[in-house]
């Protein structure tokens, strides 16, 4: 899963000093100006190139950090697959909360609409939900917003998690900044090739049945061919190719999303390509993570 082990009692400033950052300030200024026409803004070729460039910067930083830490012997702090990541590097990241308790992730897509997983929105009334935005920390910082309404995809199937996506509506528009920014969604029917690099982020469990992250984590991950995904250990749960895709490793443990990351973003080339949906355990070999395919025309 998205994992980092931190020495208990380690000062916050020590954690922040090892945090990966990317600067979205120029995009944030433009997004705020175009707030009420944000979808057209996000679809501009020039803007998508800017998002892609910043995505590639983060990707390279994550790869470099992982390479460096994997060769370092450290008995007290060992990064397995995830990295402390500033919210400024993934400013669309949302923490969805039930009566202030974090339950899922999500993504900012406009000034009043957020995207998450359908299964995250079924357990609570909208009046019991809130979101924290703009903070790398799960428990404090940024700003809290009350949720006005939630909408589960009308064709969501609870048993199979087909079309596992939903919308969250806020009462008032967000003010965009380098720490709170929408992300464009992949175009409908866009082909998602195997072995494509992506970044997944969240505050979910650091390992299967383990503690949750307190500081935002992100990790590089690669998409998996559907043929391999359907023949992996996931075959006991049917994979729907039209509404799902897999990412992680088919043959060995690898970076993965885990409990608490559900509903959060998986981003590739600067676009939101999926939503963390389900899996069997976390980061197990032969059990890749499953994500909602946002290029599905039905979605």
Catalytic (active-site) positions: 119, 164, 262
**93 closest CA partner among 53, 50, 58, 43:** 58
Report the distance separating Cα 261 and Cα 129, nearest Å: 16
- Count the Cβ atoms, other than its own, within 10 Å of residue 111: 18
Tokens in use for 175? 């003010």
Tokens in use for 20? 């990966």
- Count the Cβ atoms, other than its own, within 10 Å of residue 114: 26
Catalogue the E-assigned strands of the chain. 83-84, 93-98, 101-108, 113-116, 129-133, 143-152, 166-170, 197-202, 217-224, 244-247, 265-268, 271-278, 289-293
Contact 275, 265 (CB under 8 A): yes
């Amino acid at each position: 899963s998205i994992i980092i082990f931190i020495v208990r009692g380690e000062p916050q400033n020590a954690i922040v000093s090892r945090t990966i950052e990317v600067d979205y300030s120029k995009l944030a200024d433009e997004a705020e100006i175009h707030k009420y026409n944000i979808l057209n803004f996000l679809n501009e070729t020039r803007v998508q190139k800017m998002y892609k460039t910043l995505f590639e910067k983060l990707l390279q930083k994550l790869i470099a950090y992982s390479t460096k830490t994997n060769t370092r012997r450290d008995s007290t702090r060992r990064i397995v697959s995830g990295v402390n990541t500033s919210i400024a590097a993934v400013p669309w990241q949302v923490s969805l909360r039930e009566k202030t308790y974090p339950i899922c992730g999500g993504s900012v897509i406009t000034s009043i609409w957020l995207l998450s997983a359908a299964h995250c929105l079924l357990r609570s009334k909208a009046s019991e939900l809130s979101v924290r935005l703009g903070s790398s920390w799960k428990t404090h910082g940024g700003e809290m917003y009350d949720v006005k309404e939630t909408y589960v995809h009308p064709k969501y199937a609870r048993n199979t998690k087909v079309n596992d996506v939903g919308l969250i509506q806020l009462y008032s528009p967000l003010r965009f900044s380098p720490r709170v920014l929408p992300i464009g969604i992949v175009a409908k029917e866009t082909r998602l090739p195997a072995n494509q690099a992506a970044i997944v982020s969240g505050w979910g469990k650091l390992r299967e049945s383990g503690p949750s992250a307190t500081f935002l984590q992100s990790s590089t991950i690669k998409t998996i061919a559907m043929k391999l995904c359907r023949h992996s250990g996931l075959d006991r749960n049917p994979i729907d190719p039209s509404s799902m895709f897999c990412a992680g490793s088919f043959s060995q443990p690898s970076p993965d999303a885990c409990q608490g990351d559900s509903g959060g973003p998986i981003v590739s080339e600067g676009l939101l390509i999926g939503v963390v949906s389900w899996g069997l355990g976390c980061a197990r070999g032969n059990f890749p993570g499953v994500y909602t395919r946002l290029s599905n025309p039905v979605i």
